[in-house]
A and B are shown apart, each in its own frame.
Chain A
Amino acid sequence: DAKTTQPPSMDCAEGRAANLPCNHSTISGNEYVYWYRQIHSQGPQYIIHGLKNNETNEMASLIITEDRKSSTLILPHATLRDTAVYYCIVRPRSNDYKLSFGAGTTVTVRA
């Protein structure tokens, strides 16, 4: 499975957009990019996923570069409740649907 690289931590201001980068330079053509987040002492929450096109939902936008070697998760208007560990995961388009969690990015939204 392709590995991902994320910055260990980042701060952002409440009300501003938060842009979370993820490198996945060894991604293959049949692998999806998934984003989950985990608020302290809770189970992970699904945010968004994509294959090659940019995606948007009610929580966030996912921008995937044309070569698919990196992506950015955008939280358009960060709130204090968005403080969490954000995980970028590459998952093969296979039947087992396993997710391999790395260290993620600890995002702290400050008032």
Chain B
Amino acid sequence: GAVVSQHPSWVICKSGTSVKIECRSLDFQATTMFWYRQFPKQSLMLMATSNEGSKATYEQGVEKDKFLINHASLTLSTLTVTSAHPEDSSFYICSARGGLAGGGRGEQYFGPGTRLTVT
């Protein structure tokens, strides 16, 4: 159980275009989803927290108009990188937190990541 998927697993796009990344919790309802970014040889950096049906909360220094997050259902969150530039090239990872109902522990489970390359 507790499987989180991401799509696509990798994407190459041209500078100035927008890219959408999907994050799905496959076997549980995610009350909260998180988006992280990881540059080569660095650790994960939290970008934003999203709760279903409400606006995302962005970490300091993350541009909310550039990284659009939509959490329309309890199993799906999307991250759209708008007007992507080469410096946005990174490994984007989502995580989903289940609830406490039914014996759940509310832990975060991570997706496999999406590697974005902007040319």
- Footprint of B on A, CB under 8 Å? 36, 38, 41-46, 49, 87, 96-104
Contacts and interface: CB of A to CB of B under 8 A. Distances in A.
A26 B95 CA distance: 27
Interface residues of B, number: 23
Nearest to A99: B108
Contact of B43 (A49, A98, A101): A101
A38 B91 CA distance: 13
B44 interface: yes
Interface string B92-119: 0101010000000011111111010000
B97 A97 contact: yes
Output the residue of B106, B110, B112 with the most chain A CB within 10 A.
B110
The prevalent SS among residues of A at the interface is loop
B75 interface: no
A46 B113 contact: no
B28 to A, nearest CB: 13
B46 A44 contact: no
